Chain A
Amino acid sequence: MKRRSRRIDTDLAVIGTGIAGFAASLFACRRGLEVAQFGHSGAMAYTTGYLDLLGVQDGRVLDDPWDGLGALRRETPEHPLARLPDETIRTAFGLFTEALTEMGLGYTAPGERNLRALLPNGLVKSTLSVPQTMLPGCEALAQRARTLVLDFDGLQGFSARAFEANLAERWPGLSSARLTFPGMEDRQVFPEVMARALETRQTREALVDLIRPQLDGAEYVGLPAILGMQAPDRIRTEMEAALGATLFEIPTIPPAVPGIRLREGFERTMPERGVTLDPVLKVSRVRFGAAGATLTLHGAMEDIEVEARAVLLATGRFLSGGLRADRTQVSETLLGLPIRQTESRNDWYRKDYFDPAGHPVNRLGIEVDASFRPVDAAGDPVQDTLFSAGAILAHQDWVRQRCGAGLAIASAYAAVDSAAAHLTPEGQPPDRSVRSDR
């Protein structure tokens, strides 16, 4: 069969399907830009579901991330978040959590303080916004409420007993129990499969019936994150009513449901917003011309050429394939963008894994100007029409600093802002009457 070929014209091509890529598409839509988005990474399944802004600064756990941003601006002004005013970060974060809530994944609005959210081992994480399904966990911890934490036969890497053992001293009202998930006896069980099973009423009722006799006066019940895939808030409310206790979810080791929910939510709703989206297609080449760029993609059945007036690169780091390393250097994989190197491989990682300073390799990445355009060694933009956002940016250590979502969302917002300004110099949306007949 002959391969088909297809051509797409768009204002902005977003490369990358992580939080930064989806945030960029979302913000670009809001600005009235036409967007085409491509990517091939499943790295979103590695998120806990928590949206961090800045949880750690200089090895110190932060209660006030905004205060932390002030310190960040003084100490590492080149950090992508340090280059943005609070106002931009607040707006971007708020728009993003609103969009998630609109797509059926309720998230708390970003506030002034970090929340203290639960981790699977009974440790606590400082984060700015959590799914509504996880919020009662923060409350239960804060109040030391009578709480029952559950796990399931055959579920790997999540032990309610470990959770309890690590919190018992501080939280005497905590207890744990193990259940067999309805219909999944004598086998390994996976959070994703359990979550999909809970989309059916019978499974929910069966699970509630199993939990009820374990309650013993508990006001809160914590579960691994399995409360459905598309409408977790509705499932939680319904199960709470049947149970007579408040339910909350706890993150699990990946592939984990909160990340899959985000990915599926975006994949479902971005096309509704008018984005041309192919989340499992890798961009194989980008050529820049006078009027923008041409992206080449090779699908299973067809070749696609995308003519874009601007490009936003949000391809992530090593795990998502945005960066790669050989024995001598780190490089950017799609465009060969310049990366400022350390002196040698010896400087990539510190001697001790948990050195509080973090590993220098994590701060290597793309250098950008004030408009979030990648720059060359001289500091000049590589292309006027190329912008970048997210974890691929240099001078940040999102894992250690607990700033991944904030970095992705705020830099995407700023990069889209710049791209929009470039595409519509007077601040007007592009003239649709000209473009619609193409």
Chain B
Amino acid sequence: MNVRVHETEVLIIGAGATGSGIMRDLALRGIHCLLIDRRDLNAGASGGNHGLLHSGGRYATADAETAAECRREGEILKRLAPECIDDCGGLFVAVEGDDPDFAARFPEHCRVAGIPCEALTPAEAREREPALPETVFAAYTVPDATIDPFRIVLENVGQAQQANGSRYLPHTGVEGFDIEDGEIVRTRCRDHRCGDPVEIRARQVVNASGAWAEKVARLAGCTDVTLLCSKGTLLISNARVTNGVVNRLRPPDDGDILVPGGTVSLLGTSSVTVEDPDDIRPTIAEVDRILAEGAAMLPILNETRFVRAFSGVRPLLRAPGSESDGRKANRGFALFDHEDQGLTNFVTVAGGKFTTFRLMAEKAGDLVARRLGNSEPCKTALVPLPSGDALRWTDPGAAARDWYRRADPTDMILCECEMVARSAVDTILAEAPGAEDHMSLRAIALRSRIGKGACQGAFCALRVMAHLYDRGVYDGPDGLRQARDFVEGRFRGVRPVLWGAQMPQAELAEILHCGLAGMDLAAAEDEGRTG
């Protein structure tokens, strides 16, 4: 079998916000990196969150340090990556039944953490967010914003690639480390798409694999990383519900935050401790509970059309004897140099928040640069993130604006719900981070809004597939398998929100996927279930 060998200065395992942030950090210091992910960009918590750029308000009451960190990092990202951020502002509101004392203490906690916070009368709050109910009795503004977690990660990788030719390899999973004299000399991986072994030789290895960081550390014989995996589920509405972020002013619980995401809103978040971060999916029980709680804060949610739910796993640090409840666990992060584990070129960075990914990357980058004898300072708080033609298609509404502006009648819309045109797909195929031959429909969708609208892939899966055959991306039955894999993946999130207006959509999708595209029978045939 053909073993592919890659050499680099630093191997980074895990292509979420932290891993891609470290890639950018090191590349800006002139250090060559290879970023790998078992699946693809943002496959873990980085893609499974609500895209809130925390003002810190949520943590002000319980954890002033994390709150202040969030505030500082939020300000940096707003300055350096405004194209990824909707500085929409946020409210904390208490409604009838919530604890008035908890609400009353909120402004003081914000003051301690340095978070700007202003009290509104209930009438002012409802003027700002007309969806709020009459039962609001306390409301405070905070500088919450939203961030497109996919775009910023694409930009991290894009900038690193551009800076010094650092590379990103998707679907490359670690299977083991060869260790000699306290150093990882080889990282043994497998290309999960073709099954081929891949060998990576690097001077330093960074484990930024999020919820999987404990497993990866153990592959290197390190027992110092212990994580608590906390599953969070969110719902996505068909249209934007509020102008800004709306938080429930009470101790964190299910359904206590609604975050705009361009043309949609995200309602969350549950917290369930799970043993294994793999194969998680949103459940109907979680969705119903989130919705019941959310509707107490915003009754309009009872009539809102939801198109999908999704889950992520928060990798929370578990200090010995600490809380086993994910809600109360520390949201801070830690850097493990593993030197007490007998390794000198291995680093794990774990825990933390999406909002603080840059800071986590800076700390990891400092350690790795020092070990490599590189004295360049961290530049990620100063150098703006790049916008790029292949990096900008994940923002809800961006593709539509672009298409209307260009008004090119030959540039067909492939995804009508989200107005993604052929040209956007072609750009992604040509130059998006992780673009490759036989690129999967899932991978293209991850880098765009394809399949994320009301039809959830009923039409666009077939249209994009046809286009990819036309472009020569697929040349055999693999294209059909890719389309099937894509709609199967969408269904995991669609299933728990199937009622009301989504039922006709689901029925139509099945008519198209099975009746017209024969995907159910092809699936059975591939698995040897039919003769």
List chain B residues, Cβ under 8 A from A362: 507, 510
Find the B residue at minimum CB distance from A168: B476
Q: Are A159 and B523 in contact (CB under 8 A)?
A: no
List chain A residues, Cβ under 8 A from B500: 324-327
Binds B, one of A89-97, A266-274, A301-309, A341-349: A341-349
- Point out the residue from B410, B470, B498 that lies within 8 Å of A348, measured CB to CB: B498
Find the A residue at minimum CB distance from B411: A188
Q: Are A356 and B524 in contact (CB under 8 A)?
A: yes
CB contacts under 8 Å to A, within B489-531, are: 491, 495, 498-500, 503-504, 506-508, 510-524, 529-531
Known: A159-B467, A165-B479, A349-B495. A48 touches B516 (CB 8 A): yes
Q: Are B516 and A253 in contact (CB under 8 A)?
A: yes
Q: Are B529 and A123 in contact (CB under 8 A)?
A: no
Q: Are A125 and B518 in contact (CB under 8 A)?
A: yes
A59 to B525 CA separation, bound complex (whole angstroms) = 10
Q: Are B499 and A166 in contact (CB under 8 A)?
A: no
List chain A residues, Cβ under 8 A from B530: 59-61
Q: Are B520 and A325 in contact (CB under 8 A)?
A: no
Q: Are B487 and A318 in contact (CB under 8 A)?
A: no
CB contacts under 8 Å to B, within A117-141, are: 119-121, 123-125
List chain B residues, Cβ under 8 A from A162: 465-466, 469-470, 474, 479
CB contacts under 8 Å to A, within B461-477, are: 462-463, 465-467, 469-470, 472, 474-477
Does A88 sit at the interface, judged by CB under 8 A?
Answer: no
CB contacts under 8 Å to B, within A362-398, are: 362
Does A186 sit at the interface, judged by CB under 8 A?
Answer: yes
- Point out the residue from B487, B511, B515 that lies within 8 Å of A319, measured CB to CB: B511
Does A157 sit at the interface, judged by CB under 8 A?
Answer: yes
A155 to B512 CA separation, bound complex (whole angstroms) = 17
Interface of chain B, helix or strand or loop or mixed? Answer: helix
Q: Are B463 and A157 in contact (CB under 8 A)?
A: yes
Find the B residue at minimum CB distance from A154: B412
Q: Are B529 and A165 in contact (CB under 8 A)?
A: no
A161 to B474 CA separation, bound complex (whole angstroms) = 10
A254 to B507 CA separation, bound complex (whole angstroms) = 14
Does A236 sit at the interface, judged by CB under 8 A?
Answer: no
Does B459 sit at the interface, judged by CB under 8 A?
Answer: yes
Q: Are A46 and B479 in contact (CB under 8 A)?
A: no
Q: Are B480 and A121 in contact (CB under 8 A)?
A: yes
Q: Closest Cβ of chain B: how far from A182's Cβ, in Å?
A: 17
CB contacts under 8 Å to B, within A162-191, are: 162, 165-166, 168-169, 186-188
List chain B residues, Cβ under 8 A from A361: 498
Does B288 sit at the interface, judged by CB under 8 A?
Answer: yes
Q: Are A354 and B288 in contact (CB under 8 A)?
A: no
- Point out the residue from A159, A351, A400 that lies within 8 Å of B514, measured CB to CB: A400
- Point out the residue from B284, B469, B517 that lies within 8 Å of A161, measured CB to CB: B469
Does A156 sit at the interface, judged by CB under 8 A?
Answer: yes
A157 to B468 CA separation, bound complex (whole angstroms) = 10
List chain A residues, Cβ under 8 A from B469: 159, 161-162, 165
Q: Closest Cβ of chain A: how far from B387's Cβ, in Å?
A: 29
CB contacts under 8 Å to B, within A301-342, are: 317-319, 321, 323-327
List chain B residues, Cβ under 8 A from A344: 284
Q: Are A157 and B504 in contact (CB under 8 A)?
A: no
Does B414 sit at the interface, judged by CB under 8 A?
Answer: yes
Does A115 sit at the interface, judged by CB under 8 A?
Answer: no
Does B353 sit at the interface, judged by CB under 8 A?
Answer: no
List chain B residues, Cβ under 8 A from A186: 409-410
A344 to B288 CA separation, bound complex (whole angstroms) = 12
Does A406 sit at the interface, judged by CB under 8 A?
Answer: no
Q: Are A158 and B466 in contact (CB under 8 A)?
A: yes
Q: Closest Cβ of chain B: how far from A414's Cβ, in Å?
A: 24
Q: Are A156 and B475 in contact (CB under 8 A)?
A: no
Q: Closest Cβ of chain B: how far from A128's Cβ, in Å?
A: 14
Known: A165-B475, A186-B410. A156 touches B511 (CB 8 A): no
From B476, B479, B514, name the one whose CB has the most chain A CB atoms within 10 angstroms.
B514
List chain B residues, Cβ under 8 A from A157: 459, 462-463, 466
Q: Are B517 and A121 in contact (CB under 8 A)?
A: yes
Find the B residue at minimum CB distance from A124: B518
From A56, A157, A326, A400, name the one whose CB has the most chain B CB atoms within 10 angstroms.
A157
Does B488 sit at the interface, judged by CB under 8 A?
Answer: yes
Q: Closest Cβ of chain A: how far from B259's Cβ, in Å?
A: 22
- Point out the residue from B480, B488, B518 that lies within 8 Å of A353, measured CB to CB: B488
Does B38 sit at the interface, judged by CB under 8 A?
Answer: no
17 pairs of residues in contact across A and B, judged by CB atoms under 8 Å: A46-B511, A60-B530, A120-B516, A157-B466, A162-B466, A162-B470, A251-B516, A253-B462, A325-B498, A325-B500, A327-B499, A353-B491, A354-B484, A354-B514, A399-B511, A399-B514, A400-B514
With A327-B288, A362-B507 already in contact, 12 other A-B pairs whose C-beta atoms are closer than 8 Å: A60-B530, A119-B516, A156-B466, A165-B469, A165-B479, A186-B410, A318-B503, A318-B506, A319-B508, A324-B500, A348-B498, A399-B510
Please provide the 3 A-B residue pairs with the shortest distance between their CB atoms, ordered closest to farther.
A162-B469, A353-B491, A159-B466
